Amino acid sequence: MLRIGIIGSNFITETFMDAARQVDMVKVAALYSRSEERVKEYAAAQDIPHTFTDLEAMAQSDLIDAIYIASPNSLHAQHAITFMNHGKHALCEKPIASNAAEVQAMIEAAKANNVLLMEAMKSTLVPNFDAVRENLHKIGKVRTFFASFCQYSSRYDKYKAGEVLNAFLPELSNGSLMDIGTYCIYPLVVLFGKPDSVKASAVMLESGVDGKGSLILNYGDMEAVLLHSKISNSNMPTEIQGEEGNMIIERISQPSSVLIQYRDGREEENVSRDQVSNSMVYEIQSFAELIERGELESPINSFANSLIVMEIMDEARRQIGLVFPADQK
């Protein structure tokens, strides 16, 4: 039984805890919060046996084997390295860090301590992404990858009213590219690797982060066009266009269906697979199975893939002029 501790107490951690209860191999054993009153109340409500208000004490504790990190983006690297240096495996929410330099430091810490570090990018670990990978050859030579993830933030109304919450603070390494755009970039990298070039544009907000933006990534004989936004909605599916057909993927953030439309007029093929409603189940299952087998790197959410994704976002931020305090360290 893998005993997992959690940093963070928000809607993502609640979804994580619900998913963890569906995985027999794991148990949520401890919770961290800076507020003792909050952490005890939250842990009691979620039936979590141990609580901490001191991160170092939690990292040193023998009550957990691994840590799930859902703190602000700017703290991901610091928190992961602290726990890995105490021999704990780390499942770190996306984006895994603020920049590529932090990702490299995290990888080095994982290797030095012989522990598993994995980015919690759930979309690449669900059954429907397996369906994409295993059926992609059917559409022939791929020429275009188009992905759109535009989701109006529940915090944007308060932002417009003058209250700037965490989601729009550069100090926390936030913004549309980091929080939303990464969902478009990661599956692209898993499928096609590192692009030859990146072109980025964005609508910048007064708080200093991007509210929305786009990327064009060139692969020589293929082009990827990605749209992301926290200030508008979109229901457009992701489409991979090949010379023999198109693959239509609903919800790139957690693929819910996969259809193939053939150019020669053959009947549309539904290659979708059954999957549970809480898609975080699959990342937790994968994380636990890797540890049980003694494997210290995910073959899908790999060190290389996480690093390439962050290098793309670093270049995009350079082009749109988005600088985080974490970049100055």
DSSP sequence for 183-241: HHHHHHHHHH---SEEEEEEEEPTTSSEEEEEEEEE-SS-EEEEEEESSS---PPEEEE
pLDDT truncated to tens, each residue of the chain (329 aa)? 999 999 987 789 999 999 999 999 999 999 998 878 788 888 888 889 999 999 999 999 999 999 999 999 999 999 999 999 999 999 999 999 999 999 999 999 999 999 999 999 999 999 999 999 999 999 999 999 999 999 999 999 998 988 888 889 999 999 999 999 999 999 999 999 999 999 999 999 999 999 999 999 999 999 999 999 999 999 999 999 999 999 999 999 999 999 999 999 899 999 999 999 999 999 999 999 999 999 999 999 999 999 999 999 999 999 999 999 999 87
- Name the helix (H) or strand (E) containing 259: strand 257-262
- Intra-chain end-to-end CA distance of the chain, in Å: 38
Cα–Cα dist 76/70, whole Å:
8
Two tokens at 166?
A: 């965490």
Can you list the alpha helix ranges (DSSP code H) found in the chain?
A: 11-20, 36-46, 55-60, 76-84, 100-113, 127-135, 156-160, 176, 182-192, 280-292, 303-320
Phi/psi-derived region of residue 328, left when phi > 0, alpha when psi is between -120 and 50, beta in every other case: alpha
Considering the entire predicted model, what is its pTM?
Answer: 0.95
Contacts of 292 (CB under 8 A, 6+ apart): 2, 25
Angle at 117 between CA 133 and CA 136, to 5 degrees: 5
Query: Is 209 in contact with 322 (CB distance < 8 Å)?
Result: yes
List 259's β-bridge partners, or say none.
248, 270
